[in-house]
Every structure is written in C-alpha cells, then in structure tokens.
C-alpha cells in the first residue's frame, strides 16, 4: 500500500531541494529528505552507494564530485569506507 502526498512548495524552494539531490529530481529529493528525517542514521547511505557505483563504473572521481556537489576529498573518503 502506498499513500500519495501533495505539497505546494515555492518554486525557489522546490528547485533548491531538487538541486541538492544527485538525480536533480524533486520527487526523489523529497522522498530522500523525508527518509533522512525518519531515519537519520541512513542519511547518506543511498547517496554514498550511488557515488561508489559511479566511481566503480569508471566515471572519474573529479566528475563524480562535481555531479554530487562534493569535494574530491570527500569522494575519496567515501570510497575509502567500502
């Protein structure tokens, strides 16, 4: 069973929320934000796995950092925590 939730968000807020998520999709960003709110211990699990997948697929770490709005050092740290 699923429940739909409709939100009226100011355009600037919706764009900022979408831009923060690696997919740049508002729906995925909102779902991720709500998941973090409920389960803060899983805050970066999905994002970090997406980063690992990107690096392991051959995308240069510098490009992965840019895609996820992170520093190159942070990407190195995430990869080191495998």
pLDDT, tens only, 55-82: 999 999 999 999 999 999 999 999 998 6
- Same structural domain, 49 and 72: yes
pLDDT score of 43: 73
Domain holding 30, by residue range, is 11-42
Does residue 70 share a domain with residue 53? Answer: yes
Same domain, 22 and 35: yes
Buried-state track 34-63, b at ≥16 Cβ within 10 A, e below 16: eebeeeeeeeeebbbebbbebbeeeeebee
Do 55 and 72 lie in one domain? The reply is: yes
For the whole model, what pTM was predicted? 0.58
Query: Which has more pLDDT, 32 or 77?
Result: 77
Counts for the chain of helices (H) and strands (E), in that order: 5, 0
Pair 37, 51 in one domain = no
């Amino acid at each position: 069973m699923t429940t739909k939730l409709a939100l009226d968000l100011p355009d600037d807020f919706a764009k900022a929320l979408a831009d923060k998520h690696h997919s740049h999709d508002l729906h995925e960003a909102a779902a991720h934000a709500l998941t973090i709110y409920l389960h803060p211990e899983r805050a970066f699990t999905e994002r970090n796995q997406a980063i690992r997948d990107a690096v392991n697929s051959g995308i240069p770490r510098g490009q992965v950092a840019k895609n996820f709005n992170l520093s190159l050092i942070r990407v190195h740290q995430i990869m080191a925590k495998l």
